[in-house]
Amino acid sequence: MSTVAVPSPPPTASEDAESLRKALQGWRADKASLIGILCRRTAAQRAAIRRAYAFLYREPLLNCFRYKLSRHHLLSVDFWKALILWTMDPAERDANLVHEAVKKKDENYILVLIEVSCASTPDHLMAVRNIYRKLFSCSIEEDVASSPALQEPLKKMIVSLVSSYRYAGEHVDMDVAKLEAAQLSEAIREKQLHRDEVVRIISTRSKSQLRATFQQYKEDQRTDICEDINRQCSSQFGRTLKSAVWCLTSPEKHFAQVIRYSILGLGTYEDMLTRVIVSRAEIDMKQIKEEYRARYKSAVTLDVAGDTSFGYRDMLLALVGSED
C-alpha cells in the first residue's frame, strides 16, 4: 500500500507549479516547500504539475532541479537526485535507473534489473521498455545482452527476465506447479541453477503460478526454496536468482533487506536507499515497513533518520510515512 499522504482537496496543478516556482527562487531553494508539495502528490498529480510548470514558465521542471543539482555542493546532491527521480513518471524513472545499471559492474546495480523486471506488473515493465527505446534509441534487451559488466549465464537469465510479459491473473495449474517444483529441486540439488528449465520457469510463469510452485517445493522438500538456493549455490547467479524469487513473490522481503543493507554499518548507500523508497512509496511501502520491523526489530523511519540528514532525510521520511 502507498504511504503518500495526499491533502484533501489538493491544490490545482497550476497552483502547485506556482508554489514550486517560488520555492526554487534564489541561491538556496526552499526544500521544505518542495517536499511538502511533491512528496504529497500521486504520480498522476506530479505529471500534471510538470505539464503545468512547462506551460507557465516555458521550461521543464526537471531541468530546474538539475540546474540546482549542478550548483549545489555534496550535502544537497542526494536530495536533488531523489527529488528528480520522484518527480519522474514511474516508468520513465525505472527506464533511467535501468540505463544507469547496465553500465555498472557493481552487483548492487544488477539488483535494479531484477527489481524492475520482477517486482513490476507486466504492464509497467512493458511501459518501461517502451520509454527506454524512446529515450535511448535501443531496447533494454540489447543493452543487457551487450553489457560487458554481465557474464553468462547470468546475462542470459536477466535478458529473459527483462523480456518477459507474464500472465497477470490468478489462475494456477497445480500439475504444472508439481512438475516444476521437482525440476527446481533437482537443479538446486545438483547445483545447476543455470539450466534452461530454471530460467524458463522464473522468466515466464505468472506470479500466482510461481507462488504455487514455490509452495509445492516447500511441501516436498520441507524447506523454503530461497534457503536451499542460499545453502547450495553461493555464486552471483544464485544470489541474483534468490532476489528474483523474492521480487516475484514477496517483494517486501527483498526491499526490506535492501534498505537494511543500504544503511547498515559505516556510511549509507544513498543510491540504493533512494531507489527503494522512491520506487516503492506508491506501491507497497507499508508492507516493506512491516517486514522490516518483523525481521530487524527496528523501524524504517528510525533507521533512515539515524543515517541521513538535512533535506534528504526529510524527503525520505515524507515518502516512508509514519509508523503505525
pTM of the model: 0.94
Tell me the angle at which helices 270-280 and 285-296 cross, rounded to the nearest 10 degrees. 130
Residue set of the binding site: 26, 263, 267, 305, 307-308
| CATH architecture for segment(s) 174-249 | Orthogonal Bundle (1.10)
- CATH class, 252-320 region: mainly alpha
| pLDDT above 80 (res 176) | yes
Annotate 221-248 with b (16+ C-beta within 10 A) or e (fewer).
Answer: beeebbebbeeebeeebbbbbbbbbbbb
With cut-offs at 50, 70 and 90, classify the pLDDT of residue 146: very high
Mean of per-residue pLDDT scores for the chain = 93
pLDDT of residue 267: 56
Average pLDDT over residues 43-53: 98
With cut-offs at 50, 70 and 90, classify the pLDDT of residue 105: confident
Please report, for residues 12, 41, 51, 184, the alpha-carbon distance to residue 9 in angstroms, rounded to integers and kept in the order given.
9, 11, 20, 51
| CATH architecture for segment(s) 91-162 | Orthogonal Bundle (1.10)
With cut-offs at 50, 70 and 90, classify the pLDDT of residue 265: low
| pLDDT above 70 (res 129) | yes
| pLDDT above 80 (res 30) | yes
* Residue ranges per structural domain of the chain: 13-89, 91-162, 174-249, 252-320
Beta carbons within 8 Å of 54's beta carbon, 6+ residues apart = 60, 61
Domains 13-89 and 252-320 share a fold: yes
- CATH class, 13-89 region: mainly alpha
Residue set of the binding site for Ca(2+): 26, 263, 267, 305, 307-308
Query: Residues 38, 43, 46, CA angle at the centre, nearest 5°?
Result: 45
- C-alpha cell of residue 194: 543455470
Q: Which is higher by pLDDT, 232 or 161?
A: 161
Q: Poorest-confidence range of 7-16, 17-26, 33-42, 264-273?
A: 264-273
Annotate 157-223 with three-state secondary structure: HHHHHHCCCCCCCCCCCHHHHHHHHHHHHHHHHCCCCCCHHHHHHHHHCCHHHHHHHHHHHHHHHCC
